[in-house]
Amino acid sequence: MTAPEDAKPNVIEPLDPAKHDRAAFSCGIEQVDNFFRRTANKLVKADNVRTFVMVGPAGELIGFYAANAHAIDYTELPDRFARNRPAHGSIPAAYISMIGVDSRFQGRGYGGDLLVDCLTRLASVANALGIAVVVLDVLDCGDPEKVAKRRALYTSYGFEPLPSNELRLFLPALPANGNSSNAYRRHPAMIPSGPSEFATGF
């Protein structure tokens, strides 16, 4: 059904505890819920992470993601990246620490929207400061089938596993050039819909 022309779009904005009530948020995964309700704002205040929320027209919290600066040892990358490695030490990275969509809104593609927004913001940072890769950990809930599905969804966006850990995925950073949002939508038909399929671990 087509939305009315005057319908307000969802917006993605920085987490504001005074504005965004997280108490009722539930994505169905306790680890993700606890992070968003109890931990995210503490880490934001400590400048350890940045959290963004998707808000609907009526102010409802649809979902969120959190990201922070990171570093990865050059030896963890696949051999084909050898020419871009430093002689020793770590290379700069960004880390997507958590993504979640409230269970009321799962199945509508919002997880993919959040991921693309996150990657687009990180592309802007990469353009300004220099970030070699984006890293995330696929949340291991103990269910091999669900874990495999999450991993497959991320790889559909171009993420690939590090040789040392198949659940730690990376994506070469794409500097912002006006097309990064479209570039990150590699397979629109496979856009993740909710954290039961689309969760990372902090």
Q: Are 91 and 81 in contact (CB under 8 A)?
A: no
Averaged pLDDT for residues 24-42? 93
Give first-to-last CA distance, the chain, whole Å: 37
For residue 195, pLDDT beyond 50: no
pLDDT, tens digit, 9 for 90 and up, residues 117-129: 999 999 888 888 8
Q: What is the pLDDT of residue 79?
A: 79
CA 168 to chain centre: 13
Output the CA–CA distances (angstroms, integers) from residue 182 to 27, 193, 198, in the order listed: 27, 18, 20
Beta bridge partners of 70: 93
Backbone angles phi, psi at 168, to 5 degrees: -100, 115
pLDDT, tens digit, 9 for 90 and up, residues 146-177: 899 889 989 998 999 999 899 999 998 765 55
Q: Are 157 and 181 in contact (CB under 8 A)?
A: no
User: What average pLDDT does the chain have?
Assistant: 82
- The DSSP 8-state label assigned to residue 24 in this structure reads T
Residue 48 token pair:
């350890």
User: Could you tell me which residue, 198 or 135, shows the higher pLDDT?
Assistant: 135
User: What domains can you pick out in the chain, each with its CATH number?
Assistant: 11-190 (3.40.630.30)
Q: What is the pLDDT of residue 86?
A: 66
Question: In whole angstroms, what is the distance from residue 175 CA to residue 173 CA?
Answer: 6
Averaged pLDDT for residues 14-40? 93
Residue 60 neighbours by CB under 8 Å, 6+ apart: 102
Q: How confident is the model at residue 83 (pLDDT cuts 50, 70, 90)?
A: low
